[in-house]
Structure 1
Amino acid sequence: MKNKEFILKEQWQITKHLVRWLLLVLPVAVITGLLVALFLWTLDLATEIRWQFSWIIFLLPLAGVFITVLYKYFGKGTELGNNLIIDQIHLNDNNGVPLRMTPLIIFTTVVTHLFGGSAGREGTAVQVGGSISAFFSKVFNLNQEDNTFILMTGIAAGFGAVFGTPVSGAIFALEVLAIGRMKYNALLPCLMASIIADVTCSLCGIEHTKYHIDSVTTITTILPNIDIDVKLMFTVASAGVLFGLISILFVQLSDFIKKTATLYLKNKLIIALTGGILVISISYLLGTLDYLGIGVKSINTDGISIVSAFKQGGVNYFSWFWKLLLTVITLSMGYKGGEVTPLFFIGAAFGNTFASICGGPIDLFAGLGFIAVFAAATNTPIASFIMGIELFGSEYMPYYAIACFVAYYFSGHKGIYHSQKIAVSKANILK
């Protein structure tokens, strides 16, 4: 009888805890979802304007100077972006995440895309969620542990809403903080925040890009009664190694350009001006503007984009490198936006190239590169695996897992989030 009473009491406490967190998360998730919807709408508008008036990209250097000045006078304490939010979670503090981060990052990211900077959107959405959740943490006067939780729900809400992937958004918020460790006690609050934000964003009329993997069904297995093509499995593992190495290139090149620019140019205004000139010059040398902006779609039906990477001949052999280079220059030299969507582009384009060389299914390897380079660069293999299911369907789950997990192991410990801690080493030799 006492055991039964204890169990009932325990269940009642858990129920109260979840109801409390639903009430705490609701305003954070709804407002984040609305702001992400506004951001995505303005981002699409900015892209359309740039496509219609291509000459506007020549103003990119001046846009970089403008962004730098804005952050100098209004963005003090927010320059670290996503890393700032991760730092505050580790410190159990919310005072370092100001509310002004939201309008500042939305506006400057749209400016970056409007004038042709190669950047993404995840960083913006996560900063929106983080700053909104920090604001409500102060409003609710939460204690240190609850403050940590609500900042994590802000990350989940922003990520889930911006990509339309609520489950991977929740897992990303748990996984991104420390390599090898997740805070499972924040799982349900993060899931609630991610789902509510995604639903809110969708109700505003935002439609996310649909991707399809169709061709693998024509491949026959080598071993009887086993649903995995063993040859394909080893090919995917080989690709996973390369996906991991590409993420290292992205991170190391970002650090190199940032340090080199600071060393030789010194003045942030000159750095931004130079970065814009480099992006424009490289684009014209390549003879295409397809590597500018978000890169999900192209204005030309035969243009290079994430969508085209899922088709035979949809990208060139070095499309992945040019997108990587332009993104690294853009984000390392003062412009704003996220790294994740460019990582999707880089991974999908390299997956297409790898499949073309090895004779594998183009759309499968594009999809694998899409999630695996992201997994490697962010050290979030579980979230990336789940994202593959949410975006491409569950039919090829073993291949998603192989690509993401192998890429994760071969990417080392350094990723795009420098505030990410190492809780558990990937391997003893990497300590």
Structure 2
Amino acid sequence: MDNNEFKEKLMHKVDHNGHRAMSVVGWTLAAIFIGISVGLFATGFGLSMRYVIKFREAHKWMIFLLPIGAVFITFMYKQILKEKDSGTNTVIAAIQSDEHLPFRLAPLIFIATLVTHLVGGSAGREGAALQMGGAIGNGIGRVLKLNSTNKKTMIMCGMSAAFSALFGTPMAAAIFSMEVVSVGIMHYAALVPCVISSLVARYVANYFGLGAEIYPIEVIPKFTIKTSIMICIFAILCGLASMLFCTMLHKYESFLSGKVSNPYIKAIIGGTSVLALTLIVGNQTYNSTGSAIIMSCFTGASIGLGTFLLKMIFTTLTLSCGYKGGEIVPTLFIGATFGAAVGQLIGFSPALLAAVGMGALFCGVTNCPISSLLICFELFGYEPMPYFLLAVAFSYWVSGYTGLYRAQKIVYSKYRSNYIDKKVD
């Protein structure tokens, strides 16, 4: 590399449209800034989520406000966003193309997700994380007058920072934003900025008391031919479960939208459905994130085989009518309870199968095998590595071309080295 090339890498240039091209130093500083700003925003959101969930758990009557909460969120989005919202799909589409990603999406999804959990909707928090982080990253890119390509990298940095701050998994967070956009290829140009943003955001979150969740696996069976076959079979079942979950979400949302054109009526129907199902079940096990149930899968609690299916139904009803939050935490709930129930049924380490189920379901619904493997390592440790590796691989293979995010592209086939370039089903 000659002196001029070195200077070009260190210093940015301005193109004929007045857009800046970032340098190595520029990207490092920008990534640190995004990590701090998004980390603070996401930490505030995470701490607010804790308070809201504790408040609802202490005031069980809040679930009777489910229909009102759905109507309020619908009203907010129509008045403030003033355009059709498609959740995390909006962020993915903004990376794939030059589609508009408004900065006001960040505070909007912040408030809407808190309202969802305040009244007891079954949803996660990663949808808010990815949308908040993406919107803030894009906003910073616009302020810096970056070109289109660099703004997309800023969006990925923001997504990584928010995911890392909320979930406490900086390795998975750094890779996830690069992997989720296009299945089969990785946006490696964003690697260093995403890594920096992810680590800085996690430090910020940890500093302010938003710690990472660690799930203990006390009994890890020896990895043998028999146990490996058992894990492969279970992973195949997880892949099929992920297909079922994604199909339920997409089909019911399409059905409801086709039958009910008025968004407020749809919100009332959805909120009333979740309320009615909660009253039929007789408890609030399936409302909100269900983090306590996930943890109980690792402490020997008895888990019924139908638990994971009920969570699928609750989440489908919640997210199809206007509530906000995301599908990943419900996915982890489904994977953990499915694994624990099967483990108890066949007498094979329920905690290990719960962990394997979480990783396999995450992979099945996101089509992100590398991120899934990393999130397993960060949540459960490296000792069960062979089990995670097998489970993620088989789940990725079996889940086909379904997925949570319809804006996600399958660039290369999962089964051959063929370019197919299609949207997920």
TM-score by length of 2: 0.92
Inter-partner Cα distance in structure 2 for 1:352 and 1:18: 47
The alignment partner of 2:305 has SS state of coil
Partner of 2:45: 39
Q: Deviations along 1:332-355, whole A, 9 cap, x unmatched?
A: 111010110110000000011121
Q: Which amino acid aligns with 2:325?
A: G
Q: Does 1:196 find its partner at 2:200?
A: yes
Distance 1:229 1:351 in 2: 19
Shift of 1:151: 1.1
CA distance in 1, matches of 2:301, 2:276: 25
Corresponding residue to 1:355 among 328, 333, 343: 343
2 CA distance for matches of 1:429 and 1:206? 42
Q: 1:133 aligns with which of 128, 132, 137?
A: 137
What per-residue deviation string (whole Å, max 9, x for no partner) do you get for residues 214-233 of structure 1? Answer: 201xx34xxxxxxx322111
The answer to whether the 8 A contact 2:169-2:212 is kept is no
Contact preservation (8 Å) 1:18, 1:189: no
Q: Distance in 2 between matches of 1:202 and 1:170?
A: 17
1:186 aligns with 2:181: no
2:177 alignment partner, one of 159, 173, 178: 173
Counterparts in 2 of 1:422 and 1:56: CA distance versus 1, 3 Å: same
For structure 1, which runs of at least 5 residues remain unmatched after alignment? Answer: 1-5, 221-227, 298-304
**In structure 2, C-alpha distance between the alignment counterparts of 1:184 and 1:10, rounded to whole Å:** 20
Distance 2:417 2:104 in 1: 43
Q: Deviations over 1:375-430 (max 9, x none)?
A: 11001110010111111111111111111111111111120011111111102499
Aligned equivalent of 1:22 = 28
With over 3 angstroms needed to count, the CA separation of the structure-2 counterparts of 1:11 and 1:110, relative to structure 1, is same
Distance 2:320 2:230 in 1: 34
Q: Is the 8 A contact 1:311 1:362 kept in 2?
A: no
Partner amino acid for 1:194? S
SS in 2 for 1:310: coil
Find the counterpart in structure 1 of residue 270 from structure 2: 275
Match of 2:316 in 1: 328
Any idea what SS the aligned residue of 1:282 has?
A: helix
Q: CA deviation at 1:7?
A: 7.5
SS in 2 for 1:422: strand
Residue from 320, 325, 333 that aligns with 1:337: 325
- Letter in structure 2 aligned against 1:257: Y
- Equivalent residue letter for 1:117: G
Q: 2: CA distance between counterparts of 1:269 and 1:144?
A: 36
Aligned-partner SS, 2:209: coil
Deviation at 1:309, TM superposition (A): 1.5
**Is the aligned partner of 1:104 residue 2:99?**
no
1:247 aligned to 233, 242, 246, which one? 242
The equivalent residue for 2:91 is 85
Q: Does 1:403 align with 2:398?
A: no
| Counterpart check, 1:259 vs 2:261 | no
Are positions 1:69 and 2:75 aligned together?
Answer: yes
CA distance in 2 between partners of 1:310 and 1:136 (Å): 41
Structure 2 portions without partners, runs of 5+? 12-22, 421-425
Instruction: Tell me, yes or no, if the aligned pair for 1:60 and 1:115 is still in contact at 8 Å.
Output: yes
1:412 to 400, 405, 409: 400
- Preserved CA contact (<8 Å) 1:348 1:369: yes
Letter in 1 for 2:78: K
Q: Is the 8 A contact 2:239 2:398 kept in 1?
A: yes
The SS at the match of 1:209 is coil
Corresponding residue of 2:374: 386
CA distance in 2, matches of 1:19, 1:374: 35
Change (3 A) 1:143 1:362: same
Q: CA deviation at 1:140?
A: 0.8
Aligned counterparts of 2:213 and 2:374: Cα–Cα separation in 1: 17
Partner of 1:223: none
Query: In the aligned structure 2, how far is the partner of 1:320 from the partner of 1:207?
Result: 26
Deviations 1:265-285 (A, max 9, x none): 221111111111111111221
Q: Aligned partners of 1:166, 1:417: CA distance in 2, in Å?
A: 22
The change in CA–CA distance for 1:382 and 1:7 in structure 2 (over 3 A counts) is farther
Distance of 1:136 and 1:361 partners within structure 2: 47
Structure 1 residue 370 corresponds to structure 2 residue 358? yes
- Contact 2:88 2:131 (C-alpha < 8 Å) held by counterparts: yes
Match of 1:315 in 2: 303
> 1:212 corresponds to which residue?
216
Amino acid of the structure 2 residue aligned with 1:280: L
Change beyond 3 A, Cα 1:381–1:7: farther
* Structure 1 counterpart SS, 2:291: coil
8 A contact 2:168–2:213 mirrored in 1: no
Secondary structure at 1:215's aligned position in 2? Answer: coil
| Inter-partner Cα distance in structure 1 for 2:340 and 2:6 | 50
276-285 vs 385-394, greater mean Cα deviation: 276-285
CA distance in 2, matches of 1:268, 1:55: 25
Superposition deviation, residue 34 in structure 1: 0.6
The 8 Å contact of residues 367 and 392 in structure 1, kept in 2 or not, is answered as yes
- Measured in 2, the distance between the counterparts of 1:282 and 1:182 equals 41
DSSP-derived class of the 1:423 partner = strand
Question: Is 2:117 aligned against 1:113?
Answer: yes
The question of whether the paired residues in 1 share the 8 Å contact of 2:166 and 2:210 is answered with no
> What amino acid is aligned across from residue 233 of structure 2 in structure 1?
S
Tell me what 1:295 maps to.
Answer: 290
**Once the 2 structures are TM-superposed, how far is the Cα of residue 208 of structure 1 from its aligned partner?**
2.7
> What's the offset of the Cα at 1:311?
3.3
Identity between Structure 1 and Structure 2 (%): 36
Q: Secondary structure at the match of 2:370?
A: helix
- Greater shift after overlay, 403-412 or 313-322? 313-322
Moved more, 257-266 or 121-130: 257-266
Distance in 2 (alpha carbons) for counterparts of 1:270 and 1:247: 29
